[in-house]
Structure 1
Amino acid sequence: MTFLVVLSLVVALAALAIAAVVLRRTPAPRGDVDAVPEDVVGLRQEVAALRAEAKGALRHLGLVRYDAFGDVGGRQSWSLALVDDDGNGVVLTAIHGRSEARSYAKSIVDWRSEQPMSPEEQDAVASAKP
């Protein structure tokens, strides 16, 4: 009986040793290696497409608040420039007085406007530049 117990232990230890050797030699599963370059290329194409799409977005802004008239305080007047990466967009201006308010919109192309801009509008466009 003792012989069978010892023989069982020896067989069990041998099986454990063989299992350990086999596990060491087996590479860890890493997925489909051939699919990785395609995924990277696809991701790069997607990022390039998103960058191209975002280039035309009005993502740069500049805001200038000021007192347009000497008798009105609180910097209630403002000029806001909204432009894309190429400097195309719009500058919006609201001038508030005691009895009236006026608003203006001027197009911006390549960081300039065809219409004359006030110093505050020019400051708003300049502060929108990245």
Structure 2
Amino acid sequence: MAAVLALLALVVALAALGVALAGRRTPPARDDLDTVPEDVLGLRQEVAALRAEAAGALRHLGIVRYDAFSDVGGRLSWSVALLDDRGDGVVLTAIHGRSEARSYAKSIASWTCDQPLSPEEQDAVTSARA
């Protein structure tokens, strides 16, 4: 989350710098990087690094709440998918019954799982992908 906020702050700073520079002179050609101020080049490098780092962040979230058993209400059972941009991550499931609770974790790679997913777990992955 901090990386996303930092990326947003850098984008706003670049936009403000672009507006300030546009009022003083015409922008340099994209292939003429010698005329670009050094601090702008540094900011571009930082933005590129933050984008690369954010690609591996768990940014896709899908959660499904449900009643796992007919005699237990309140939608206390849930499945949550936490995935990055490549669809890699985990699905966590907690099933709550009247006298016990169980939890499960299943690895996800490229939006799929080697183990069978319950319908609720699949719904969580689908929701995270949307």
RMSD: 1.5
Q: Offset at 1:35?
A: 7.8
Which residue is 1:107 aligned to? 107
Question: One-letter code of the match for 2:44?
Answer: R
Which residue is 1:10 aligned to? none
Question: One-letter code of the match for 2:107?
Answer: S
Which residue is 1:77 aligned to? 77
- Structure 2 unaligned regions, length at least 5: 1-23, 25-33
Higher CA-based Rg: 1
Which residue is 1:126 aligned to? 126
- Structure 1 unaligned regions, length at least 5: 1-29
The 1-side partners of 2:38 and 2:85 are apart by 30
Identity %: 81
The 5-angstrom pairing of residues 31-110 of structure 1 reads: 36-110=36-110
Q: Offset at 1:37?
A: 2.6
The 1-side partners of 2:35 and 2:93 are apart by 53
TM-score by length of 2: 0.71
SS in 1 for 2:122: helix
Runs of 4+ displaced beyond 3 Å: none
The 1-side partners of 2:71 and 2:128 are apart by 29
The 2-side partners of 1:109 and 1:38 are apart by 40
Which residue is 2:27 aligned to? none
The 1-side partners of 2:86 and 2:41 are apart by 27
Q: Offset at 1:38?
A: 1.9
The 1-side partners of 2:98 and 2:42 are apart by 58
Give the length in aligned residue pairs: 98
Question: One-letter code of the match for 2:41?
Answer: V
The 2-side partners of 1:90 and 1:35 are apart by 47
